[in-house]
Amino acid sequence: MVKIGRLLTAMITPFDKEGLIDYDQARKLAKGIIDSGSDGLVIGGTTGESPSMSDDEKLRLFAEVKEEIGDRGAVIAGTTDNNHNKSVELSKKAEEIGVDGLLLTVPAYNKPSQEGLYRHFKAIAEATKLPGLLYNVPSRTSLNMTSETTLRLAQIDNIIGVKEASSDLVQITRVIDDAPDGFKVWSGNDDETFPIMCVGGFGIVSVAGNIISTQIKTMMGMLLEGNIESAASEHRRMLPLFKALFWVTNPVPIKYSVNRAGFDAGKQRLPLYEADESFTSKFDEVMDQYDVDLLV
């Protein structure tokens, strides 16, 4: 089993001119992100436009990316949504393909109770032997998974951590403090990696990692070495870019960034639509302040 490292990048999904997944470009992008310093990739998550992809597309994408990067990095497959039975079946199929873990995302639209969340994730975890990474993202789902529910799920052997994007540092710290040994917390927001790691978080599932993996990894290394002042300086330096990447709905800005850096990732699938000039003119000014690490 490939180790699931500290810096995971939520990879965008390249599309061709017809709007189909460009699997060759996905392979190149995956390799480039790993070469740039990421420890693994989340494939088929929000940043990958998973709601706009069919199950067959997701499974092929998981397989192609895993074949490309092999044991050089973990592939975490986004297999869950608000359809419980489909989530279980897709998770099983992803395991057969050979992915390294599953992203277990709080479902949107259904708005289940905390008990419903617990049973949903418990059943998915029990259906495979793969490690599961919970994903709490209330801004997308209109539902917060409480620390109590997260800590209940942390008792399940193959639920190994949580990607926390609630922006509630008290809740996140409570999970870090009370979780069993081996249960890890990844920040779900690039602008919160520094404070979350400072209170004991493990790492980040990054959007910005598509273009600046090396710089993020350097900042994390400073933190782990105890060089808080230098890490804080790096965090502050990257913060304007972290913020700009969410001026409009993710993944529109990060896909624009990758294309602007010279890698053809195509456009978004509807209902997402490319940003207009009022965004790009301001965003270009921010992006011009940074080097791009992407090795493609």
Active site residue 163: yes
**Hey, what are 61's tokens?**
């994408």
Rounded-to-integer distance, Cα 166 and Cα 140, Å: 10
Of these residues, 23, 118, 135, 256, which one is catalytic? Answer: 135
- Amino acid, single-letter form, for residue 179: A
Of these residues, 66, 93, 163, 217, which one is catalytic? Answer: 163
**Hey, what are 116's tokens?**
């419903």
Rounded-to-integer distance, Cα 128 and Cα 116, Å: 19
Rounded-to-integer distance, Cα 167 and Cα 124, Å: 26
Reference 255, options 9, 1, 57, 14; nearest CA is 14
Q: Which residues form the catalytic set?
A: 135, 163
